[in-house]
Structure 1
């Protein structure tokens, strides 16, 4: 076993890190324990340089050791394990960065607490009401919908709406009146009061 604080360069394989005899059942655990004792410090130093965050670096080292434990049988014949461990750790850091960049930034609940809600709910009532109104508007005739669009949605006077639609002012007034009545009935049929 190399002296504590060594760079982890070995001339033997992974099994040479283990002190004393081990049974096949403890073999993986003993290998990973020895691997951790030998390579944890240099690997942590390496990962710290990659991440700049100690907690993240410790998580990466732990995940690297788990992967080494899963691959213990394949690591037996390797001369030096530090290059393999460093490569695995670097790939984990890269994957973590990609994962963080792919996810939207989490902002917590603070900004959501200040949003106004409809009648104490989470806003679903308002959304459902808008959907019902859109369906009710779609059920109107084209002439009635155009009259409402010009006067209500575009906030035009009856005279401006008549000019835009190319129809007499009296016709616009009549269409708006009957459109509002039909809209009210359509909304009541859908369970929404105007």
Structure 2
């Protein structure tokens, strides 16, 4: 281990809200664009705001976007994530296309993982080369394409009858009794 890790914050890398298990949840919660209306260094960010910001906001309704004009300051974007972390990015003298790429990077990353010394929850002297166990490790791959609910894959036939099914059975029994009495 090198000494450069001593200056990084220490933390675990985990998927917040079990991201990716059920559905994808965008981790970017809020982004604040701070820029100068007249400075030449803010030109690229102003172009991004004029041309692409509305489209970004429409495509990402879960992300709150703030614009904060400031006089004689360099342009900055502050991204806040669901786990509470903040990432500051300086956009001074950046072009419109560079800013597009950096905004996409901020949107898709979890937080500033690059500046984190990674730790593990468990430690072993003999690590497995097969990877960690998950609940889906030994499941039948046929489940991926099966039409569910399916009796073959579960005990669905032992479930209690619904009220609708009970009423349907009573109605059919009553119909049979009426047919027998009519004969």
| TM-score of the alignment, normalized to the shorter chain, above 0.5 | no
Alignment TM class, shorter chain as reference: under 0.3
Higher relative contact order (CA 8 A, sep 6+): 2
Question: What TM-score does the superposition give when structure 1 sets the normalisation length?
Answer: 0.23
User: TM-score if structure 2 supplies the norm length?
Assistant: 0.24
Pick the structure with greater CA Rg: 1
Compare the two structures and name the one with the higher strand fraction.
2
